């Protein structure tokens, strides 16, 4: 690509950011569409966040992705944030439109598109969401907006209940929060259509761990994991063996990026190009397929 006086800049800010797949994914997409935009990674520590956002404004950056630990604290520095994103309290994408910064969260949308792309329509289906951290929250907020019947299970049950309460208060839903203990898991799974692991269980190096005993997985399930290192987690391996539909964590990552790309460029994202770029970066990082 040719960098010149008109080149626009997008960036990811967080700490650390050096392993992020977003730069390769977005740069491949910009190149594919012949857009004069580059995407870089800026490591920004907590005490520099305000300055970084002011800098993004003064340099006229086109857009930002925001990752840990700034997803919540960045909101106070933005001009406007989507109302549901504000209630959720986490922004992962910022658009700079004529000097005003707008905050969005594309994580949940990414997860829902990943399901749809695998021919699973979450509307009116029962989703069992494992985890109550940041990723689970983003998925839960989007799932209820797409009229999915949601049950949240978490190791720390109180956190599942708190997230359910926040959702019910925000959307008037009847989401339940329970523990991740075997009896709760077994009871809920019997009537579940979509199982989503939004915990870190199964992530490298604990590749033999799974949040769900293999014998509880049935063939009518769609199982999505947000973990993408390894690409096929123990949970997904067990689900595949049981004859269930599987959706890898890479798909959620890919589609959250695709939604951000579309917010910045107004162009449909070339997802195949982005996926290929992400896969080759993962291979470079030694991630097990």
Interface region with ligand ATR, contact rule CB under 6 A, candidates 52-60, 100-108, 192-200, 257-265? 192-200
Binding mask 199-238 for ligand ATR (x = CB under 6 A): xxx---------x---------------------------
β-sheet bridge partners, residue 196 = 129, 224
Q: How far is the CB of 36 from ligand ATR (least distance, A)?
A: 34
Q: Does 90 bind ligand ATR (CB under 6 A)?
A: no
* Residue list 92-151, contact with ligand ATR (CB under 6 A): 131-136
Which of residues 156, 219, 241, 280 is near ligand ATR by CB under 6 A? 156
Supply the residues annotated as catalytic: 71
Phi/psi of residue 165, nearest 5 degrees: -65, -45
CB closer to ligand ATR, 154 vs 229: 154
Q: Does 69 bind ligand ATR (CB under 6 A)?
A: no
Which of residues 27, 92, 142, 154 is near ligand ATR by CB under 6 A? 154
Q: How far is the CB of 109 from ligand ATR (least distance, A)?
A: 16
- Name the site residues for ligand ATR (rule: CB under 6 A): 131-136, 154-156, 159, 180, 198-201, 211
């Amino acid at each position: 690509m040719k960098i010149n006086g008109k080149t626009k800049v997008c960036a990811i800010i967080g700490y650390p950011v050096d392993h992020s797949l977003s730069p390769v994914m977005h740069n491949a997409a910009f190149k594919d569409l012949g857009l004069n935009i580059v995407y870089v990674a800026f490591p920004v520590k907590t005490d520099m966040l305000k300055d970084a956002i002011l800098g993004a404004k003064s340099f006229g950056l086109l857009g930002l992705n925001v990752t840990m630990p700034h997803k919540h604290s960045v909101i106070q520095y933005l001009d406007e944030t989507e109302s549901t994103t504000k209630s959720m309290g986490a922004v992962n994408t910022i658009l700079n439109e004529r000097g005003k910064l707008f905050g969005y969260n594309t994580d949940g949308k990414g997860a829902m598109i990943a399901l749809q792309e695998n021919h699973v329509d979450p509307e009116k289906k029962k989703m069992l969401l494992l985890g109550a951290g940041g990723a689970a929250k983003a998925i839960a907020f989007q799932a209820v907006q797409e009229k999915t019947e949601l049950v949240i299970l978490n190791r720390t049950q109180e956190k599942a209940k708190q997230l359910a309460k926040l959702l019910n208060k925000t959307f008037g839903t009847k989401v339940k929060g329970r523990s991740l203990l075997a009896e709760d898991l077994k009871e809920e799974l019997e009537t579940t259509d979509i199982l989503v692991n939004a915990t870190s269980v199964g992530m490298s190096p604990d590749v033999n761990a799974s949040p769900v005993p293999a014998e509880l997985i049935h063939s009518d399930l769609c199982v999505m994991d947000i973990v993408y290192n390894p690409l096929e987690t123990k949970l997904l391996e067990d689900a595949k063996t049981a004859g269930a539909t599987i959706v890898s964590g890479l798909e959620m990552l890919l589609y959250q990026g695709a939604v951000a790309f579309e917010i910045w460029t107004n162009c449909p994202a070339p997802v195949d190009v982005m996926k290929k770029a992400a896969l080759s970066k993962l291979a470079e990082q030694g991630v097990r397929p």
